Amino acid sequence: MSSLSNPIDTSTWEWWKIKDLFKIERGKGIVKQNRINGNIPYISAKNNNNGLEQLICVNDKIYKNVLGWVNDGNGGVGYCFYHPYTFRPSNHITVLIPKNFQLNELTGLFFATIITLEKDKHSRGFSINNYRAENTKIKLPTTIINQERHVDFEWIENFMKNIQQKYLINHINKTGQVIADYKKSKSNLGQKIDTSHWKWFKIADLFELEKGKCGNARALLQDGNEIPYIGAKKSNNGLMRMVKRRENLVTAGNSIVFISDGQGSVGYALYQPKDFIGSTTLTIGRNPNLNVYNGLFLVSILDKERPKYSYGRKYSLEKIKETLIKLPATADGNPDWCYMENYTKGLLFSKYIS
């Protein structure tokens, strides 16, 4: 497999028709005035937010762990999304149900991205009827078993895991480039996320908070290559320099860092994937549901609060606790960590599968 920093070599991949892999069913629309608010996502012809139009109450024509392919509508034709959750598709959605395999988050996101790459063939006013859907061809990694060709699911899963575990984590730890990639991808969507169904949460209700432990880096730390020293700056993901490890000053990774004080960066947030030593100008938040993907999502949301605390005003612990941010929520009113994770994965994976 080629380096992830370069385009993937698809010269040995083979073309497959959608009908060879998926059973096709058309969604069933519900006119707006007949929809009742509930907790089932109603998916329609949109090219963002995973196609979500509304949360409704419904118990028929629902699907789970399948692909939803926009077959008609203004601006969304050809976009495909993976839906690991229960949802109701509108008549503008063609549901792709795997025939002889089960999707998971790795293969689901891969197929959704590959199919979306074919969207230009279905734009310019052409809708995707069942015949066109069935006969659309996508290029996939392929293996031969007993003289028969099969989609190489092992390659797909290894590729996606490689992005997750090696490229993203290492890259964010060294340069913060994944955060830049995420924000660039997010801005390139060209449309805002629909937040009408999101809820407000206090920072204190989302995170256990603690302060950074290093009050005098010059006196307490020695240059080295064992652990990053994170300070009050937004660039390079807060990295001031690499230092020798001092256990009494170490803060556990997989955390959100709030910059509480410092010239020019007060109010910004960072995601730190690995253990670090943080200055006392930082406040650290942790939650057991946190990971690199929803962490990046949260950083983007939190940074929108920054204007309230710039211009010389400190972002004190008490102010952080009381800060409200609007987030996607589940039906029971809790933060939808899964949605945040899947949304960010979709953006990042689409950057590398092209």
Q: Along the chain (354 residues), what's the average pLDDT of each consecutive run of 10 residues?
A: 58 95 95 90 86 89 95 83 93 96 92 90 75 94 92 91 59 47 50 78 95 91 87 85 91 92 78 92 94 90 71 73 91 90 75 50
Task: Give me the residue spans of the domains in the chain.
Answer: 14-151, 199-344
Query: Which candidate, 12, 326, 309, places its Cα nearest to that of 139?
Result: 12
pTM: 0.53
Instruction: Give pLDDT, residue 158.
Output: 86
288: CB partners within 8 A, 6+ apart: none
90: CB partners within 8 A, 6+ apart: 27, 28, 29, 30, 42, 43, 44, 45, 53
Whether 199-344 and 14-151 are alike in CATH topology: the answer is yes
Instruction: Give pLDDT, residue 1.
Output: 40
Instruction: Give pLDDT, residue 110.
Output: 94
> What is the phi/psi pair of residue 277, to 5°?
-105, 125
CB distance 82 to 95 below 8 Å: no
Query: Which candidate, 115, 109, 155, places its Cα nearest to that of 2?
Result: 155
Write down the CATH number for the domain with range 199-344. 3.90.220.20
User: Which CATH code of 3.30.560.10, 3.40.640.10, 2.60.120.10, 3.90.220.20 fits the domain covering 14-151?
Assistant: 3.90.220.20
89: CB partners within 8 A, 6+ apart: 27, 28, 43, 61, 63, 68, 95
Instruction: Give pLDDT, residue 234.
Output: 81
Inter-axis angle of helices 337-352 and 292-303, nearest 10: 100
Q: Which residues pair with 144 in a beta bridge?
A: 149
Tokens for 56, please give them: 């409704």
Question: Which residue in the block uniquely carries the two structure tokens 């092209």?
Answer: 354
